[in-house]
Amino acid sequence: MRWIRATRRGPRRGDGAMRASLAPALLLAVAALGCHTSLSPPIPAEHGDDAPPRRGGTLRLATFKDIRGLDPAGPTEGVANQAIHAIFAGLVDFDDRGRVVPDLADRWEIAEGGRVYRFTLHEGVRMHDGEELTADDVKRSVERALHKTTPDPSASYFEGIAGYAAYAEGTAEHLDGVVVEGRYVVTFRLEEPDATFLSVLAGPTLRPVCRSAGDRYVDTWQPCGAGPFKLAPGGWRRGASLRLVRHDGYFRAGLPYLDAVEWTYNMQQLTQRFRFEAGELDFLHEISQADQTRFAGDPRWRPFGSTDADTTLYGESMNTTMPPFDNVEVRRAVAAAIDREHYRLLKPAYVTPLDQPIPPGIPGYASDDVRCRRGQRYDYAAALEHMRKAGFPYDPATGRGGWPYPIDYVVYDQGLLIYTAQLLQQELAKIGLRIELRLVSWQTFLTLQHRRGGAAMSPGNWAMDYPDPSSFFEPLFTTRAIGPESTDNTAFYSNPRFDDLVARARGELDETQREALYREAGAILCDEAPWAFTFSYHFVSERQPYVRGPLQHPVWYVDPTRTWIDRSDRLAEPPAGSESP
Amino acid sequence: MRRLAWRLAWSVGVVWAVVSIAFAVNVLLPGDPAQMVAGPQARPADVARIREQLGLDRPPAVQYVRFWTRLVHVGPSVADPAHASCAIVLPLPVRRSALHLDFGKSFQMRQPVVDVIATRMPRTLLLAVAGVVLQLLLGVSTGVLAALRRGTWVDRLTVSVSLLGISAPTFLIALLLQVILARELRWLPLDGYGATVGDHVRCLVLPALTLGFYGAAYYTRLVRDEMRVLLDADWVRTARAKGLAPGRVATRHALRNALVPLVTAVGLDFGALMGGAIVTETVFRWPGLGELSVKAMLDRDGPVIMACVIVTSIAIVATNVVVDLVYGLLDPRVRDARGGGTR
């Protein structure tokens, strides 16, 4: 509560002028000390690039976020999912290009036109408790995750499994759609054909858990799965750190290489950089723009920098039920008036300009789709023409015309979005749309944006739930996504033709035809512009040279299963529970 | 004694009022706690199920009554799964029963809030005590020195440094100390709490110094200004004329009287620090109540918010009661006035 104190004392001192002159001096001092222009040199690997992987060592990671839980069926978020993925193997997983590949299941077959998915488990898989994984464990884990008492925020993603409704309501004891057909064979029966089922299944929610988890979710359960790493005794210190150690019985022989992986939570960005330079962190994922410039400008570090896949979608969401955005020509004018390059320049290393509803890191992104280029690319003359067609012609020379009323733009206090909001304000002023920024808290923002009539215009952003166009199209733009109280379709966009295309794509198992359907659906979005699609955001990373093998992952951000440490002084393990200074 | 009892009853009323207002604000604020648990991208059906699981689908009045009836209640004196989120605070003479304290379960962490508070509060208390002790040691000593060396370079230097301390925001002092003592000189850990007692002590130094420097600057000026006035007072001149040693005059006659406003400031500061030094805890990753309460507020984690409000309001009320008592010890006039007599 120091800020309260500062406010209370401020007026009593009457030395504001001197105070004002001293604070910048101190700031300069910190800048001089903390923001060295020169970085410490990278710590070299012990062996050459062609050296084989070595076992041992601990990979140390950090984040400014915290995790809430490690149960795949409980409330989790991106940071926790990194650890959950390491602890719990799934029937299927995503490879390093985001494609679904076998994991605990050796193979699967799809029958009855996409209504039946039959998985054959890898035999002899040992869970962390030493028990063998069987089809019964899979069914038990699924029923545990989807039970009505489980606080699973993703349960409805599995509503297509036969019998889900009755099970979720509690009128059925078991989930009929999950059938054990032998010790190592389990079948999922779906109500309708679903081409996204494998992608959804590869997520964390239904990953098999040890028998100690029981049939029902409890908060006190100690995470236990079949993944390459297991929770060390006392390894999770809430709000501070997490330590996972190698699961020696992991079913992929020889993996993982690392003895342990440690995450430190709630660590400030600047502290992360200090620790990374000192070799106390091995991988830096949350880099400030200033530090990114520094790393990118240092030839010693340049080879060790990398960029995450673009899997997030940003845009300007326009409420199609509120004026003036109930007029499609106004929306088209907005989509054509925004110069995406200006957005990129705000944070060049992190922002990829976007002219369509699929980010570049998602299958289905079409860099050559000319249908979107027309509507979602900067074209000032076209924007003015759309305003004229809308009935609100605007004359840039005189500044006369346009929409006569100010438009509320609801935004929350997040660095980049505050800047893009101001850019948008300037861009739209040039076509006669006056934007008034309304800055609210994140919670208020969510409430307003998700409620009908809550916000005429607001920044839209969406991170993929799984790498597939349906992860963007269905929640953001289908009529079905609009609920009576709340919705993720913040534009309240409704188009039966679009809905039909997306529904058909979900049931279409042929990849080529499915892609064609999504392209057609995407073209409708580009033309009718419920959003003006603006950019995709990605993180940039640095790793120490001694961190070898694959580490970054398009879905899990990091996957240390095949990573190894090539640094001689790091093969000796510190005592359990210790925290590096 | 009667006055103390009345004061305690008044304090309970204040805490009740503060907690009730906090409850109302928490309910009225926009933002759906169930959405915050499920995540911004969760589907409405999943959010609705979680809302029901958390009991947030009930009317606010029902939630309010449930909160108070659950907060302090009588339960079994031994561990019971039905009372998993309770702390047993007082065994009762009635057979196998005890007074329970129950803040509920955190929406986000899904842990009993009493456990969370029990873990975090000692850390905040440690930081608050260390910070206040440093503030007093630095502030009082430099304030007295400046007052005694009035008009000299010592006085001017003290005033300048204290002004610098007051001018700098806490985060700036924190970063400066972190960069110099941890990054450059490597004497101390950059941040964290550590796993052993030795680690805790080492990790405590930087956040305590941050609070110490910031608060000491104010105390320096307070003590200096008070002492300057008091050293010119008639009774101090009389004490000097009677031949008392200068040190004795300064400590017994001037400093003791200067402590009265200082005690007020320390009391308020300590109470506020018990609510958590938010910036300091965040920069140094010190896992105390400040960081917890900010996160709870951002996540609309109602049970944690209410627990933090209760702990903070009790701490502030309690320190005010203690400050009142200390006034009596420092100033006989206050004591006499409370006793009903005048001099």
Contact residues on chain B for A442, CB-CB shorter than 8 A: 31, 298
The rounded distance, in Å, linking the Cα atoms of B129 and B117 is 17
Model pLDDT, residue A105? 98
Contact residues on chain A for B202, CB-CB shorter than 8 A: 581
Query: What is the three-class DSSP state of B36?
Result: helix
Residues shown for chain B? 343
Give the predicted TM-score (pTM) of the model: 0.88
Distance (Å) from the alpha carbon of A9 to chain B's nearest alpha carbon: 9
Contact A77 B39 (CB under 8 A): yes
Distance (Å) from the alpha carbon of B162 to chain A's nearest alpha carbon: 11
Model pLDDT, residue A570? 59
Contact residues on chain A for B109, CB-CB shorter than 8 A: 68-69, 238
Model pLDDT, residue A371? 67
The owner of tokens 């627990």 is B307
Model pLDDT, residue B215? 86
Q: How far apart are the first and last CA of chain B?
A: 21
Contact A74 B108 (CB under 8 A): no
Check if the beta carbon of residue B254 is closer than 8 Å to that of residue B227.
Answer: yes
DSSP string for A273-311? HHHHHTTS-SEE----HHHHHHHHT-TTTGGGEEE----
Q: For an interface test with A, which of B41, B196, B280 has the most A Cβ atoms less than 10 Å from its Cβ?
A: B41
For chain A, say whether B218 makes contact (Cβ under 8 Å). Answer: yes
Model pLDDT, residue A23? 46
pLDDT tens for each residue of A357-392: 999 999 888 877 666 767 899 999 999 999 999 999
Distance (Å) from the alpha carbon of B164 to chain A's nearest alpha carbon: 6
Q: Cβ atoms within 10 A of the Cβ of B152, count?
A: 12
Model pLDDT, residue A15? 37
DSSP string for A554-570? TTTEE-GGG-EE--GGG
pLDDT tens for each residue of B95-143: 788 999 999 999 999 999 999 999 999 999 999 999 999 999 999 999 9
Contact residues on chain B for A156, CB-CB shorter than 8 A: 43, 45-46
Poorest-pLDDT segment among A241-245, B36-40, B317-321: B317-321
Distance (Å) from the alpha carbon of A122 to chain B's nearest alpha carbon: 32
Segment 200-229 of chain A within 8 Å of chain B by CB: 219
The owner of tokens 């342990």 is A260
What are the structure tokens assigned to A367, written together? 């860099």
Check if the beta carbon of residue A439 is closer than 8 Å to that of residue A419.
Answer: no
For chain A, say whether B210 makes contact (Cβ under 8 Å). Answer: no
Model pLDDT, residue A29? 55
Segment 363-402 of chain A within 8 Å of chain B by CB: none
Report the amino acid identity of residue A13: R
pLDDT tens for each residue of A140-161: 999 999 999 999 999 999 999 9
Segment 14-43 of chain B within 8 Å of chain A by CB: 29-32, 35-43
Identify which of A81, A275, A439, A254 has the alpha carbon closest to the alpha carbon of residue B183: A275
Segment 87-126 of chain B within 8 Å of chain A by CB: 105, 108-111
Count Cα atoms within 13 angstroms, Cβ side, for B146.
Answer: 26
The rounded distance, in Å, linking the Cα atoms of A494 and A478 is 6
For chain B, say whether A30 makes contact (Cβ under 8 Å). Answer: yes
pLDDT tens for each residue of A237-251: 998 999 999 999 999
Nearest CA in chain B to A33: B179
Contact residues on chain A for B41, CB-CB shorter than 8 A: 462-463, 465, 475, 488
Dihedral, B330, B332, B338, B342 alpha carbons, nearest 10 = -160
Distance (Å) from the alpha carbon of B154 to chain A's nearest alpha carbon: 19
Segment 227-286 of chain A within 8 Å of chain B by CB: 237-240, 264, 266-268, 270-271, 274-275
For chain A, say whether B169 makes contact (Cβ under 8 Å). Answer: yes
pLDDT tens for each residue of A295-311: 999 999 999 999 999 99
Q: For an interface test with A, which of B37, B109, B224 has the most A Cβ atoms less than 10 Å from its Cβ?
A: B109
pLDDT of A577 strictly over 80: no
Tell me which DSSP letter residue A508 carries. -
Contact A66 B43 (CB under 8 A): no
Model pLDDT, residue A8? 32
Pairing, β B87-91 against β B97-101: antiparallel
